[in-house]
């Protein structure tokens, strides 16, 4: 998943990103309240 896709899905209301591969994704100055980035 790209950083842009993560932010787009977050803005659409998604908060459960468990198991999503974010290797190499860099996001600056963004607050993601309530997000679950737990590895499975």
> How many domains, the chain?
1
The phi-psi region of residue 38 (left if phi > 0; otherwise alpha if psi is between -120 and 50; otherwise beta) is beta
pLDDT one-digit tens code per residue, 13-35: 999 999 999 999 988 899 999 99
Query: What is the structure's pLDDT at 6?
Result: 95
The sign of the CA dihedral 23, 31, 18, 8 is: negative
- From residue 33, alpha-carbon distances to 11, 14, 39 in Å are 11, 11, 18
What is the pTM for the complete model shown?
0.83
How far is it, in rounded angstroms, from Cα 40 to Cα 33?
A: 20
Q: Which domain holds residue 31?
A: 1-40
* 14 against 40, higher pLDDT: 14
């Amino acid at each position: 998943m790209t950083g842009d896709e993560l932010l787009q899905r977050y803005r659409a209301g998604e908060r459960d990103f468990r198991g999503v591969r974010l290797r190499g994704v860099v996001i600056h100055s963004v607050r993601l309240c309530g997000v679950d980035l737990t590895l499975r």
